[in-house]
Structure 1
Amino acid sequence: MAAHPASPPGARTASASALAASGRRVFEIEGQALAAVGGRVGAEFARACQLMLDAPGRVVCTGMGKSGHVARKIAATLASTGTPAFFMHPGEAGHGDLGMVTDADVVLALSNSGESDEVLMLLPVLKRQGNPVVAMTGRPGSTLARESDVHLDVTVPAEACPLDLAPTSSTTAALAMGDALAVALLEARGFTADDFARSHPAGSLGRRLLLHITDVMHAGDQVPRIGPDATVSEALVEMSSKRLGMTAIVDGDGHLLGLYTDGDLRRSLDDAAVDLRSTTIGQVMTRSPKTIGADALAVEAAQLMETHKISGLLVVDADGIVVGALNIHDLLRARVV
């Protein structure tokens, strides 16, 4: 039996209950921190939002260290919810990246202490250019808080770190304040789910809100279709060649008359009165089947299939002419379901 690897030097062991208690304590402390910061959301928060709404440019988020990580996430959240934003590293800003900031932008500067040298160094340049500065700090009396146009106070009662050193509650509070800004701005702009999908075309929501039936359906010669006088045997050949588990029954002009599926075939085989070679498909087809329009969203097809417990749909135009077909496998491949 292989020996267990030795514990690293200085490693300690702890009981499962002690570890779980530590974890719960973090949630309790950070929950209290969020409640404290949330209670301070008021006039200054509204002023910060208005500055961002009025800015003809973007929101430039900046911060050092852990505050920088939070600022980067806030910038990403703002950008994906209708407020153009980007992250600028304050250290790089002093070496040329300030050129990315135009006089149309508003700056959101994060520093828990409010005394980060790299951030404070930017203030004179931003003020000369006329950029409004929104500060987010844990010290209302700090230099950054005093020198900014608006200050968002994210002071927390205590860090979750028992040494009161590692940024824990403070970063959680700053993240939540960033989310609050993003949501308030989203609602003020009238940002919709469709807008969100357009900025997330590769995501699941993007696929659900942007993908239409025309993007996933089979069209042209790929659509199985036969006339009402064809035999069940001929319908089977058409279904097998097109591999969609169904066939449309159409008149000479392509108007939909009915549908015949794999399930209908199984029922026909169980019916002694049905002769595959002589019974016409018009006698056994399903009349007035469920259909969908080509301009509908693919997710609507999925909902229709689920509601009616079916695995395929015919696509028809406004005149009832069959223009396409799709089944559940098409939706699965498109990752709509």
Structure 2
Amino acid sequence: MPTPEKILDLARQVLTIEADAIRALSQRLDHNFVHALELCLACSGRIIVSGMGKSGHVAGKIASTLASTGTPSFFVHPGEASHGDLGMITPQDVVIALSNSGESPELVAIVPLIKRLGAKLIAMTGNPQSTMAREADLHLDASVTQEACPLGLAPTASTTVALALGDALAVALLDARGFGKDDFARSHPGGALGRRLLVHIQDIMHQGDALPKVPADASLSAALLEMTKKGLGMTAVVDEQEHILGIFTDGDLRRHLDSPLDIRTTPIRDVMSSSPLTIAPERLAAEAVQFMEQRKVNGLLVADSAGRLVGAFNMHDLLRAGVV
């Protein structure tokens, strides 16, 4: 068993070699990368990414990243392509083929077929003199001076560089397409990011009969009954046109417990908080979370542009929506 110091030294060496390989790649990028981006932008079909072995795993990740950032893409296994899956590729597609040696038999075998179809081929290899590099429409140099494996055999630095190069292409395409946060959220509707970017206040607020509200001349007892019935820990106080005049909350009730109030005769306008905090229905629910945390409140009234009450919600609604 190696000593802890030796284990850490080897781990640091691996990370240093891979980091150095990416830095070298950064300095090596040239006009071919720009042309590859232009090919992908002009593609009226899909971006097909392929590779064998470890390169295949990297190719799958690149395809997934492209697809989630605005560039329709999927992975095709080169071995299966020779047995029918080549039919998934059309003349309108661009194929990105990954092979460190540039001589992977399964990929080399389908190169003539891809070219015969009329699809454009981008080779990403570690050997600019390889068969794939020569036959491709464009070659992206993903070479490394050494693998991070002490034996120099296991694909390590080479797969890291290929993955980073794929990420660079995906992000450059994202920027060129003007792909924004809303677009990204639509590609990730099931995740936390999608909820933060897609859920609006109007999607989670209480409205209609579920909205707690009382007129300004209502008694404190009527307001308390409305709060209890609607279960939001607050009620809005509105005029005849539904304009918001104030709010009464559980916190306001606690602050008045020591006051000699008759809850049956005290008008709610005498104990309500005037000029309450409100938010527009079209705002993102994620914005409301930050706003409520800053103001240290547990609920908000929702108002339209004219200051009329249209909804209400509390932190529990945000939790149920998965925004918090």
TM more than 0.5 = yes
Alignment coverage as a number of residue pairs: 324
**Among residues 270, 279, 302, which one is paired with 2:266 in the alignment?**
279
Q: Match of 1:4?
A: none
Residue 173 of structure 1 pairs with residue 161 of structure 2: yes
Partner of 2:318: 331
Q: Which amino acid aligns with 1:50?
A: E
Q: Deviations over 1:11-56 (max 9, x none)?
A: xx22222222221111111111111111111111111111111111
Q: Does 1:153 align with 2:124?
A: no
- In 2: Cα distance, 1:26 partner to 1:166 partner: 12
Query: What is the alpha-carbon distance in structure 2 between the residues aligned to residue 55 and residue 323 of structure 1?
Result: 46
Deviation of 1:278 (Å): 2.4
Question: 1:226: which partner in 2?
Answer: 214
Which residue in 2 is equivalent to 1:313?
300
Deviations 1:149-174 (A, max 9, x none): 11111111111100011100000000
Per the alignment, residue 257 of structure 2 pairs with 269
Matched, 1:198 2:186: yes
Q: 1:59 aligns with which of 25, 37, 47?
A: 47
How many Å apart are 1:69 and its aligned residue? 0.3
Give the alignment of 1:28-67 within 5 angstroms: 28-67=16-55
Q: Deviation at 1:226?
A: 1.2
SS of the aligned residue for 1:121 comes to helix
Query: Which of 195, 198, 204 is the equivalent residue of 1:210?
Result: 198
RMSD: 1.2
- 1:296 maps to which of 283, 296, 306: 283
Point out 4+ residue stretches in structure 1 off by more than 6 angstroms.
none
Structure 2 Cα separation of the partners of residues 80 and 40 of structure 1: 27
Q: Secondary structure at the match of 2:247?
A: strand
Query: How far apart are residue 194 of structure 1 and its match?
Result: 1.0
Kindly provide the CA deviation profile for residues 250-271 of structure 1, in whole angstroms up to 9, marking residues without a partner as x: 123322211001111111113x
Residue pairs, 1:72-91, within 5 angstroms: 72-91=60-79
The reply on whether 1:101 has 2:89 as its aligned counterpart is: yes
Q: TM-score, normalization: structure 2?
A: 0.97
Structure 2 gap segments, 5+ residues each? none
Structure 1 regions of 5+ residues with no counterpart?
1-12
